[in-house]
Chain A
Amino acid sequence: MEHRWGMAIDLDRCTGCEACVVACHAENNLPVAPPDQAATGRTVHWIRVDRYYEGEFPDIKVKYMPVMCQHCDDAPCEPVCPTYATYHNNEGLNVQVYNRCVGTFYCANNCPYTVRYFNWFDPEWPQPLQLQLNPDVAVRVSGVMEKCSFCIQRIKRSKEDAAQGPRPLADGDVKPACVQSCPAEAMVFGDLADPESKVSRLAENGRATKLLEGLGTKPKVFYLQRAK
């Protein structure tokens, strides 16, 4: 069966702790920008936690929203890439081929979610973080674009394990790093092609919304929040 990977994020549960951001850094070999670069907006976070404020201080409410690549079914970044460095694979993932990227920046300019990140320099890690690089994930060179892959290496590993093991791949077997590390269990990952999967049921939930849905990009990340 063909998979269609998707994610549901319960914003009413998210506490904005950013454990997902740290987990993503560790899992996906994200470079750590030195302070001067970070100050100019050159950080790379495949998942980031946006903050929105409601009301005036001291009567203020903060709303957190983890934003990563939405893996749009009609992704605006894909047709504009002149070298097919970004394309849709048969499991609905919007994948990025680092070796194919020449760095035109076009995909990032056409991404309404601004979730594409660029390698401004060769990556570097402060000691001793260089010792924890994940061998399953390529380290990207200077000059290429990158973004959330839904931890494609974990998807692949789970499928391979299932093929060798006693039972087929079950719902919840694949857990991207952010989902795994979320202490509030606000994030659910799974197969949207399976109507019984948890993420499919959450996507049908009355609280489910999509980010910038009106653009017609058909994102596969669902945000659950109470309607006001």
Chain B
Amino acid sequence: MAPAPELLPYAKIREDLFRPLSGAGSSYWLTMLAALAVVLAGAYAWSYQLRFGMGVTGLQRPVFWGFYIVDFVFWIGISHAGTLISAILRLTEAAWRKPITRAAEAITVFALMIGGLFPIIHLGRAWYFYWLIPYPNDRLIWPNFRSPLVWDLTAIITYITGSVIYLYLPLIPDMAQLAEHNTPWRRKLYRILSLGWTGSDREWHALERAMKLMAGIILAVAVSVHTVVAWDFAMTIAPGWHSTIFGPYFVAGAIFSGIAALIIVMALIRKVLKLELYLTDHHFNNLSKLLLMMSLLWLYFTMAEHLTVWYGNEPEEMTVFNAKTRSAYAPLFWGMVGLNFVVPFVLLGIRRLRTIQTAAFSSVCVLIGMWLERYLIAVPTLTNPRLTSATSSYFPSWVEITITAATFAGMVMLYLIFAKIFPIIAVWEFKPHVAEEE
């Protein structure tokens, strides 16, 4: 096993971690261009939808929520990678967190930026989305505070504000170190962003306190955000949605997919930025165990949800249950169980098989599985309404597929830009004797 990165000389750490900021190879630009092309295709698809109406999607009565809502829940789930993991590790002072936290926090901010777009994209009249915001207006109309969608908006705005602060705070000391950079625009940028940081004891103490405080706040916010997302479904009286465990079920699923996203991103930057010394087997091993634990928790929740429905045997609930497990959606459902439970359980549960490669592979499986989970929550309920005469089906159109693809490309693009401007691993965290003088 490689030595812990904390033991490397600080000068080397500085050099290694600041190096990726300067210069960009042709593969960087090629990836960037490819991602940009897909993002532009998505932008075109959305403008097409805005121009002609929601009819360009595959939605139809009574399936009013499709890919967009699935994507929304998926990306908000991914956003739980950063905050929760980094906040928990920071609060418990886990030493191995150091090279992980920033990569995780960046995922949160970008996933929220992307996920937060979907409630707007899915609107029939997206240009009026601001009517959900409680602002004083000449019509003297307030939004309906009883609507879970208003809670949702509030939760997401709070969450994105909090996680931007949470990402920014630990960036400040690194910005100050980089303020001597030799590229003029960078020097200017870093100088502004470092807020005149000098590294005095008082500043370090203030920063430590602020980060502790934000870690505590962001934990509560993260849990509440995904609970509210779950309540968008659970507050209805639709069979399959009206469930008391949806709040914790969604939070657990979000952390599960968040860890998977983090493992994938870490495996990629480890390779691409040649950070093998910093992101070691040790980190992947620990994260794999976390992923395995969340996989088991997910299985428990999924079983609790479905077993009670099956045993209760209410006709309307059973229609949805049967659609999911026995007929139209059965391949997706059992595929989901395989991807979310069997794959991680075998590959990460057996110690000999647990490597960086299998961790990354399991994580990809988990991401697909968790996307399917949200699809299987949203769609089968809608295709099987209480009045059987309205029973329907759903298949996405090219517009929905393109926009979905564009969000993944958008994530890649945002991450590539971020990794070029900011060190993806917090350098100052490795600085010896930073906040020892209490």
Contact = CB atoms under 8 A, between A and B. Distances in A.
A76 interface: yes
Interface in B204-233: 232
A113 B60 contact: no
Contacts of A105: 64-65, 122, 124
B131 A121 contact: no
Interface of B: 52-55, 59-62, 64-65, 119, 122-126, 128-129, 131-132, 141, 143-144, 146-150, 153, 232, 235-238, 382, 385-387, 389-390, 392
A109 B144 contact: no
Interface stretch (A35-43, A178-186, A218-226): A35-43
A209 B331 CA distance: 40
Nearest to A52: B389
B65 A83 contact: no
B173 to A, nearest CB: 42
B64 A80 contact: no
B417 to A, nearest CB: 32
Contacts of A160: none
B147 A81 contact: yes
A172 interface: no
A14 interface: no
Chain B, interface SS category: loop
Interface in A132-172: 141-145
28 contacts: A50-B387, A76-B237, A79-B146, A82-B131, A82-B147, A82-B149, A83-B131, A83-B132, A83-B141, A83-B143, A102-B125, A102-B126, A102-B129, A102-B131, A105-B65, A106-B148, A110-B236, A110-B238, A112-B238, A112-B387, A114-B385, A120-B54, A120-B59, A120-B60, A122-B53, A143-B53, A143-B125, A212-B387
Interface in A53-90: 67, 76, 79-84
A22 interface: no
Interface range on chain A (Cβ under 8 Å from partner)? 35 or more
Given A108-B64, A114-B385, 20 more contacts: A37-B55, A42-B55, A42-B60, A42-B61, A50-B387, A67-B389, A82-B149, A82-B153, A83-B131, A83-B141, A101-B124, A102-B124, A103-B124, A109-B382, A110-B238, A118-B61, A120-B59, A142-B54, A142-B125, A215-B237
Nearest to A110: B236
A51 interface: yes
Interface of A: 37, 40-42, 48, 50-52, 67, 76, 79-84, 100-106, 108-110, 112-114, 116-122, 141-145, 211-212, 215
Contacts of A122: 53
Contacts of B55: 37, 42, 120-121, 142
B144 A119 contact: no
B385 A112 contact: yes
A103 B132 CA distance: 11
A136 B117 CA distance: 38
Contact of A80 (B62, B129, B132, B147): B147
Contacts of A67: 387, 389
Contacts of A109: 62, 64-65, 236, 238, 382
Contact of B144 (A82, A108, A116): A82
A104 to B, nearest CB: 6
A119 B124 contact: yes
